[in-house]
Structure 1
Amino acid sequence: MMTTAFLFDLNGTMIDDMEYHVKAWTGILNEDLHAGLEDAYIRGQMYGKNEELFHRVFGPDRFTAEEIEHWSMEKEKRYQQAFRPHLRLIAGLQHFLDEAKQLGIALGIGTAAIPFNLDFVLDNLAIRSYFGALVTANDVAVSKPDPEVYLACARALQVPPERCLVFEDAPKGVEAALNAGMKAVVILSSLHGESEFVGYPNVVRMIHDYTEISPENLTCLL
């Protein structure tokens, strides 16, 4: 088998937590900052770095960098407190990771989350040892759909981009994979349905959880 890597987004892809992010953002934006935003609009803005979201919603000059950092961390703390009792891998992922490891497939995570949230998942679920590359919002200059996060993962794992398969739940992430020259498997969720991914030529499978696929079969698609 040629050297192959599986690269995972985190939120909504490895753990089913996006509704908890929606609730935390809604509290910060509407209750604390009185933005008066519709739920659908907030959902549509939930991509990229937190500071990018603040700039899209309020403009680049509304808050100082220190204020954005404060509200960003407050949001993540509220998210973690609410989601902690429900923290678990999406169905089938633990077995999928075990199989991939046995096959010698390199594994990495490329996420717009900050290390605070990545550590929350990896350490509480004891899965850090599976991954040879961890790239977070702090490691890239530009967020998805820019390909930087996935190209950085590929470099860290020393695997060519065309031998990397990306697992994503969001259109911006699939677009980032496309821009990196990588194929993608989509994990469907309540936040993003099948119709949102139809136009992406790099999508090889759409699934609801990892019980529907096997690592060995997916390597044949690269």
Structure 2
Amino acid sequence: MTNNFEAYIFDLNGTIIDDMHFHARAWHEILTKDLGSDISYEDTVLQMYGKNQELLERVFGVGHFTQQQMDKYALEKEKRYQAEYKPHIKLIDGLSEFLENAYQAGIKMAIGSAAIPFNIDFILDNLNLRKYFPIVVSADDVDKSKPNPETFTKAADLLGVPYDNCLVFEDAPKGVEAAKNAGMKAIAITTLHKPDEFHITDNVIKFIADYQSLKLI
């Protein structure tokens, strides 16, 4: 297919690696066993968007924790996630070839994630992805999380590419919504959410389970 986009912006967790179930288990353990919530695993999954501190505030309410406490629990969650996931770490099927083809075609690429740098570095360094992603926008780089478009618009600005020439790769409904709010098309990866769980789809070019049959768009 002829490539109609100048840049690709990738979310990270669930989009580059299929790890969202590991995140969900780590969060659910902390929310219930450490913090005493009775939240279900399924509801934990639904709350997994935006920054870590925002998840804690959605579950327990604003002001329940100090910023220091939220930072502590957020980092502890990432440590538990990394310890469990590291033996399984790998790119989603077909992505290695897709990234290399995009790189050779001169398509600019960036990471636009709500993850903290501690988590992003874990993925990029363990999978040797730095050459593909010279631009990284993390939770620490934005004031407002997805579905606010800031993550993606900032990535596009740093790449120097107009928003409508960027294609977003996302696994979360809120991420696809953020792409729409940025004026960007998206490809939705169904690692955690089924297509019918995406409430906004008019900017979605395609739903994919992996990248094996995906050609440059």
TM-score, reference length from structure 1: 0.94
Range that drifts further, 146-155 or 3-12: 3-12
- Provide the aligned length of Structure 1 versus Structure 2: 215
Q: Distance in 2 between matches of 1:199 and 1:124?
A: 33
Amino acid of the residue matched to residue 96 of structure 2? Q
Q: Structure 1 pair 36/21, CA: closer, same or farther in 2 (3 Å)? A: same
Structure 1 residue matching 2:206: 3-state secondary structure: strand
**Shift of residue 123, structure 1, vs aligned partner:** 0.4
Q: Give the equivalent residue in structure 1 for 2:121.
A: 119
Q: Give the equivalent residue in structure 2 for 1:79.
A: 81
Q: Give the equivalent residue in structure 1 for 2:151.
A: 149
Contact 1:168–1:184 (Cα < 8 Å) also in 2:
yes
Question: What are the ranges of 5 or more consecutive residues in structure 2 without an aligned counterpart?
Answer: none
Q: Give the equivalent residue in structure 1 for 2:47.
A: 45
Q: 1:107 pairs with 94, 106, 109, which one?
A: 109
Q: Give the equivalent residue in structure 2 for 1:13.
A: 15
Percent pairwise identity: 52
Q: Give the equivalent residue in structure 1 for 2:209.
A: 208
Amino acid of the residue matched to residue 207 of structure 1? I
Q: Distance in 2 between matches of 1:2 and 1:79?
A: 37
Q: Distance in 2 between matches of 1:198 and 1:40?
A: 17
**Shift of residue 132, structure 1, vs aligned partner:** 2.6
Quote the RMSD (CA, aligned, Å). 1.2
Structure 2 residue matching 1:70: 3-state secondary structure: helix
Range that drifts further, 33-42 or 156-165: 33-42
Amino acid of the residue matched to residue 29 of structure 1? L
Q: Could you give the per-residue CA deviations for residues 62-101 of structure 1, whole angstroms, max 9, x where no partner exists?
A: 1111011111110000000000000000001110010001
Structure 1 residue matching 2:187: 3-state secondary structure: strand
Structure 2 residue matching 1:211: 3-state secondary structure: coil
Q: Give the equivalent residue in structure 1 for 2:97.
A: 95
Which is helix-richer, 1 or 2? Answer: 1
Q: Distance in 2 between matches of 1:38 and 1:2?
A: 42
2:169 is aligned with 1:167? yes
Contact 2:94–2:212 (Cα < 8 Å) also in 1:
yes
Amino acid of the residue matched to residue 209 of structure 1? D
Q: Could you give the per-residue CA deviations for residues 116-163 of structure 1, whole angstroms, max 9, x where no partner exists?
A: 000000001111111131000000000000000000010010000000
**Shift of residue 3, structure 1, vs aligned partner:** 6.6
Q: Give the equivalent residue in structure 2 for 1:56.
A: 58
Q: Distance in 2 between matches of 1:136 and 1:96?
A: 23
Contact 1:133–1:157 (Cα < 8 Å) also in 2:
yes
Q: Distance in 2 between matches of 1:121 and 1:18?
A: 13
Regions of 4+ moved over 3 Å: none
Contact 1:3–1:159 (Cα < 8 Å) also in 2:
no
Amino acid of the residue matched to residue 20 of structure 1? F
**Shift of residue 200, structure 1, vs aligned partner:** 1.8
